[in-house]
Structure 1
Amino acid sequence: MSLPRSYDAGVLSALGALDAKSIKHVFFIACGGSLSIMHPAKFLLDQHSPLASDVYNAAEFVSRAPRSLDEKSLVILCSMTGTTKETTAAAEFARSKGAVTIGLTVEPASPLATAVDHVVGFEAPYTTGVPIDAKNSNYARIYQIVMGLVALAGGEDLTQPLVASLDALQPAIDRAQETFAPAFEDFAPRFAKQDVIYTMASGASYGAAYSFAICVLMEMQWINSQAIHANEFFHGPFEVLDKDRCFILLKGLDSTRPLEERADGFLHRFGSAENLLVLDAERLDLAGIDPVFAGNLVPLIFFDTLWRFAYKVAELRKHEMLEARRYMKKIAY
């Protein structure tokens, strides 16, 4: 079979060189914000393929050295700038074991790009400041890789509905900005005064909560946070909940939504509504997005809209989002 010509050229090249039916294990490898996109990618693969897969932090991947890593493995790595040394080392390690490697990065001449078998480029407004169409994001590229692999390996071919859904994603994000804007205006003044804000989600949306917690609240605003899985919340973390504690809850549209709904009920039972920012995907206009992919694309909508909220909080705190960082990309570590 052939993949849609509307697929990204880098993805087409990488998958075209791959013997998809020989792949027995997929590894999703990255660090930080790039690691966050690997969780929904694995979720998508789990939904549509019996292929075994794992998500690893890049350094732990090398240190753990899974015995299942071999010439029948596909290792998908991501680093926005391609300069994350742990991810580059992971690519080199994977190739030393005979695995096929695909690296996602915005920099085609970066260390990661030179360390992998195949390079897939994407666009990222957070480093360039230039707005993009979400169909060119790292989320979109990795979803194309996953669903292309599924189709080429003999599974269901949903590549055309995926492309159509990705084309409709940016308009959906733009509409979501308007939908959530009143809540952001309401919650930002209260959240800007907080030293601790927790984020919560499950399923495909967990990566968005993870990224917002560690890369935005902690890295860029110095606000203590933790991404809490919506079910793990009931196995310890719920003990921190009181009327003063602030939470951001992402309620998606995938099969794990009941977990988030349960958490929502508990939060409003013992917390205070004015401190519970709930982004509910059921409020969104997802016109053009195929229902089979709605749950998978909603996390990118959450991720994108939350940046708008983060900048409102930063302005109120008089704290620069990127420039004020003390360590990130400023010292050796």
Structure 2
Amino acid sequence: MRKTMTAALPADIRDVLAAISDRTFSHLFLVACGGSLSVMMAGKYFADRFSSTFACDIYNADEFVCRDPRRLGSDALVILCSQTGTTQETVHAAQHAEARGATTIGMTLDPTSPLSLAVDHTVSYQAAYTTGKPIDSAYSNYGVLYMLLAGLTDARERGDLTTDLLTSLGSLQRTIEGAHDTYADRFHAFAPRFADRKTIYTLASGASYGAAYCYAICVLMEMQWYDSQAIHANEFFHGPFEVVDQNAAFVVMLGLDETRRLTERACDFLFRHGSRENILLLDAEELELTGMSDRFRPLLVPLIFFDALWRFAYRLAELRGRPMLEGRRYMKKLTDY
């Protein structure tokens, strides 16, 4: 059942923030793998824009252990995310952070999972993609991470972020449902063009880059076996633009944050040297974002893009005669890797 967003943080987030309210952190580490790592990319954008009291880095979980950052110690806060809470690398990263004296918070669907047992504090979130249950996206992994970061920042800088964020999240689910209507005809036209392709690229920048990364590796590659690559809109001009021709297929996420001009520049090139029929552009300026504050709209746009594109992926799967989650060869089926 969907909950209705109110002007209060969920109880588990309030409890965690209260428990660490007397701690001074100089460094924040955001640690995860795969789709959970992509959410952390947006979290780092949030921290970079709104916090001046702690630096923020993002790591793949196993590389976090291997690199063993020298800043990782008693004045560090590590937020880790694993949907099932069973991702071995993320659990190991939590144990490593604990051993170094850092404070740890785990984000997961399962508060009894191995990740939950390995961290100091656990917060839960909702996910529809693997559970099949309808949710209010305000309580998705993005929403919960943003609530944590807003609370951390407000407690140390009096930024008055939390109230504004909660109000904006209250409009999120309605906006997502509106986006499905906005993009329906476009998806209907593009799905037959993209279904039989071997390669589909994704392109974005800023807060939306994580969504492009996740769509490339966790949806197009993992679930439909396309060759895919997430391309940063400015890195596009430092090598990747050489693949562009009339047949190159791109999904472009044009957001509203401070990096928008980077993606606009890439779009201009794609439209000039590629084919518009092969460039699926989602522009956040097309969306109805009433109820969201100006400062949080750019950070909520990636959730809207990804939710809409998830439906597009199912349309591709239908046309290709391939299942989505059930058709994977290795994920959740092998344990010896």
TM-score (norm 1): 0.98
1:42 equivalent in structure 2: 44
1:25 equivalent in structure 2: 27
Within a 5 Å distance, the mapping from 1:1-333 to structure 2 comes to 6-19=8-21, 22-50=24-52, 51-332=54-335, 333=337
Q: Distance in 1 between matches of 2:192 and 2:158?
A: 49
Q: Distance in 2 between matches of 1:169 and 1:291?
A: 14
* Partner SS state of residue 291, structure 1: coil
Structure 1, unaligned runs of 5 or more:
none
CA contact (8 A) 1:20 1:149 kept: no
User: Which whole-Å deviations, capped at 9, do the CAs of 1:189-217 have from their partners, x for residues lacking one?
Assistant: 01001010000000000000000000000
* Partner SS state of residue 256, structure 2: coil
1:119/1:265 CA distance change after superposition, 3 Å: same
Structure 2, unaligned runs of 5 or more:
1-5
CA contact (8 A) 1:201 1:260 kept: yes
Q: Distance in 1 between matches of 2:229 and 2:113?
A: 31
1:229/1:20 CA distance change after superposition, 3 Å: farther
User: Which whole-Å deviations, capped at 9, do the CAs of 1:237-261 have from their partners, x for residues lacking one?
Assistant: 0001100000000000000000010
CA contact (8 A) 1:253 1:282 kept: yes
Match of 1:297, as an amino acid? L
* Partner SS state of residue 261, structure 1: helix
2:3 equivalent in structure 1: none
Q: Distance in 1 between matches of 2:23 and 2:179?
A: 39
Runs of 4+ in 1 over 4 A off after TM superposition: none
* Partner SS state of residue 23, structure 1: coil
CA contact (8 A) 1:21 1:153 kept: no
Q: Distance in 2 between matches of 1:212 and 1:30?
A: 16
1:75/1:166 CA distance change after superposition, 3 Å: same
CA contact (8 A) 2:7 2:166 kept: no
Q: Distance in 2 between matches of 1:5 and 1:125?
A: 23
User: Which whole-Å deviations, capped at 9, do the CAs of 1:266-323 have from their partners, x for residues lacking one?
Assistant: 0001000000000000000001111110000000000100001000000000000011
Q: Distance in 1 between matches of 2:166 and 2:281?
A: 29
CA contact (8 A) 2:202 2:229 kept: yes
Q: Distance in 1 between matches of 2:254 and 2:164?
A: 23
Query: Which 10-residue stretch deviates more, 11-20 or 142-151?
Result: 11-20
Q: Distance in 1 between matches of 2:209 and 2:309?
A: 14
Q: Distance in 1 between matches of 2:74 and 2:293?
A: 35
User: Which whole-Å deviations, capped at 9, do the CAs of 1:74-112 have from their partners, x for residues lacking one?
Assistant: 100000000000000000000111111010000111000
CA contact (8 A) 2:81 2:106 kept: yes
Q: Distance in 2 between matches of 1:247 and 1:21?
A: 45
Match of 1:288, as an amino acid? G
CA RMSD of aligned residues (A): 1.0
The count of corresponding residues between Structure 1 and Structure 2 is 330
CA contact (8 A) 1:21 1:152 kept: no
Match of 2:24, as an amino acid? S
CA contact (8 A) 1:76 1:102 kept: yes
Match of 1:185, as an amino acid? H
Q: Distance in 2 between matches of 1:56 and 1:307?
A: 25
Match of 2:150, as an amino acid? M
* Partner SS state of residue 192, structure 2: helix
1:5/1:20 CA distance change after superposition, 3 Å: farther
Give the deviation of 1:158 after TM superposition: 1.4
